[in-house]
Structure 1
Amino acid sequence: MTQLLLASRNAKKLAELRRILAGAGVEVLGLDEVAPYPESPETGATFEDNAVAKAREAVAATGLPSVADDSGISVDALNGMPGVLSARWAGRAKNDAANLNLVLEQLTDIPDERRTARFVCATALVLPDTTEIIVRGEWPGSLVRGPRGTNGFGYDPIFLPDGETRTSAELTAAEKDAVSHRGRALRLLLPHLKALSHA
């Protein structure tokens, strides 16, 4: 079976990719399942920059076809921020609660109709032959005024997807996979990932 490296230690991302690729004939490994290598900080100006840099680094270190993503939330009333800074919006540490609370604070006086936002995920597949495929998935919605739900991570408890009455953190994993920014990006990559098993 072809091995594919997901350049992440995030167990939830790994589980999501494994669910989406179930039956594709590809074994998905995470960074904790390969020999450690030095990982560069995310310094790109865009989600795409960060995703492709992480995937290139993973291929160079392991020789395995590698997928990496960079994702975050883009809030219209904050001019598209936190954007690539989503994971460290409230400071250097990746503190989901602090990040979420800071965004809510910054939106305190913004009326509901102007609390529009979208989750964005850029995903890069880099192959040992230097082929690079970069895709982008977006999930539009708005931000509620207080966290709801315990599924998911990051900004999920305050993100209300368009057409939904439940936040992202109130959806089941399967429901989220079907519509999320990461699910949308990974499905765009699916034909290329399935082709790996026939290469």
Structure 2
Amino acid sequence: MVKIIFASTNKSKIAELNALAKNLNILLIDMKEAGIDIDIEETGNTFEENAKLKASKLSEYTDELVLADDSGLEIEYLNNEPGIYSARYLGENTTFQEKIQNFLRRLEGVEKSKRTARFVCALSMYQKGKELCTITEAIEGYIGFEPKGTSGFGYDPIFYLENDKSWAEISLEEKNKKSHRAKAFVALSKFWYEG
């Protein structure tokens, strides 16, 4: 089994990726499980820059393969906010429920056709300071009128696809067939196995 150290301690992201990796003989572990306790500041201007920055920095602390994710939500009507600041939007101590309510207030009265949004995910793999592969993928949808569902994490309760179900209302298996992170991981695994 190939072990890859994931440049995050976000258990939800790791669970999503490990569900995708289980048939590929890959196991992702977080930095703390690998005995690495560092803070990596996200100073890039794009998802891709931040993913590369995190993977590059983590690869300085290990000879193992490392993988970094930078992902977030872009709402077109709001000039693609929150973008790369998705997790830090309104401050790091703000809950996602507060962030979600802020966006719903700002989108009040905006019709469905103008509530287009996308989730973006950049994955970057490094080893020993060398970039092996970086992939960016997105999934298009829209922002609902109210949060729905209890699955998932982050902005999932307000992100909808064409089926009028929020990402928090679908199973992890269903999400992993369509999500931005799944698309990026599948592309990355093709690189991994096909060279």
TM-score normalised by L of structure 1 = 0.92
* Percent pairwise identity: 33
Work out whether 1:113 is the aligned partner of 2:152: no
SS where residue 72 of structure 1 aligns?
strand
- 1:67-106 equivalences under 5 Å are 67-93=67-93, 95-106=95-106
- 2:174 corresponds to which letter in structure 1? E
Aligned position for 1:189: 188
Shift of 1:36: 2.6
Counterparts of 2:71 and 2:2 in 1: how far apart (Å)? 26
Work out whether 1:175 is the aligned partner of 2:174: yes
SS where residue 23 of structure 1 aligns?
helix
- 1:187 corresponds to which letter in structure 2? V
Counterparts of 2:10 and 2:193 in 1: how far apart (Å)? 22
1:158/1:167 contact within 8 Å kept: yes
Structure 2, gaps ≥5 residues long: none
1:87/1:95 contact within 8 Å kept: no
2:144/2:160 contact within 8 Å kept: yes
SS where residue 163 of structure 2 aligns?
coil
- 2:182 corresponds to which letter in structure 1? G
Shift of 1:91: 1.7
Shift of 1:135: 0.6
Which one is further off, 77-86 or 109-118?
109-118
SS where residue 14 of structure 2 aligns?
helix
Residues 52, 74 of structure 1: alpha-carbon distance in 2 compared, 3 angstrom cutoff: same
Counterparts of 1:175 and 1:126 in 2: how far apart (Å)? 29
Aligned position for 1:141: 141
Work out whether 1:19 is the aligned partner of 2:23: no
Which one is further off, 74-83 or 90-99?
90-99
1:5/1:64 contact within 8 Å kept: yes
TM-score normalised by L of structure 2 = 0.94
Aligned position for 2:46: 46
The number of equivalent residue pairs is 195
SS where residue 61 of structure 2 aligns?
helix
Shift of 1:129: 6.3
**For residues 97-117 of structure 1, what are the alpha-carbon distances to aligned partners after superposition, in whole Å with 9 as ceiling and x for unaligned?**
111111111111322210110
RMSD value over aligned CA atoms? 1.6
1:89/1:99 contact within 8 Å kept: yes
Aligned position for 1:6: 6
Counterparts of 1:131 and 1:159 in 2: how far apart (Å)? 32
Structure 1, gaps ≥5 residues long: none
SS where residue 93 of structure 1 aligns?
coil
2:143/2:159 contact within 8 Å kept: yes
